Structure 1
Amino acid sequence: MVSFSCEVCNDTVLKKKLMQHRNQCPGAYFTCLDCQKTFQGLDFQGHTSCISEAEKYQKTVYKDTKSKKQKKPTNQ
């Protein structure tokens, strides 16, 4: 489950608890702990996909298995 950091009180909050936390913490805005993207207002609700743990921790050696296949050049 994706976790967010509240930039007002520095609390770590799971996505399913963000609305509850936002109501309790005036002026709260959040940063995704996986991709480090900051969300203002209710923008966090649209954050449905993020980098995978493999991509986050393996960085340069990570190979995306969903990437498009490269086209082979045709000989003329």
Structure 2
Amino acid sequence: MQNAGVRVMMVTGDHLLTAQSIASKVGLETSNILLGREIETLNDKELQERLYDVSIFARTTPGHKLRIVRALQNNRER
């Protein structure tokens, strides 16, 4: 997918180390991960900005996932 120009992201409720392990196995960059508790400290605009350099989100809740999707849509990503 990445070779075709599709941005691949992982949004999971799993533990940070589990997310890192799986991401590295599928070829995702693992150096910049945003945790659910960090998402809670960001306002919507800050979250939109963070999406440009984060591809892995761990320990997320359904509410966090909805915020991520809405932020992606606001960034004109589909």
State the TM-score, normalized to the length of structure 2: 0.28
Higher strand share: 1
Q: Which has the higher contact order (CA 8 A, sep 6+)?
A: 2
More helix by share: 2
Larger CA Rg, structure 1 vs 2 = 1
Q: TM-score, normalised by structure 1?
A: 0.28
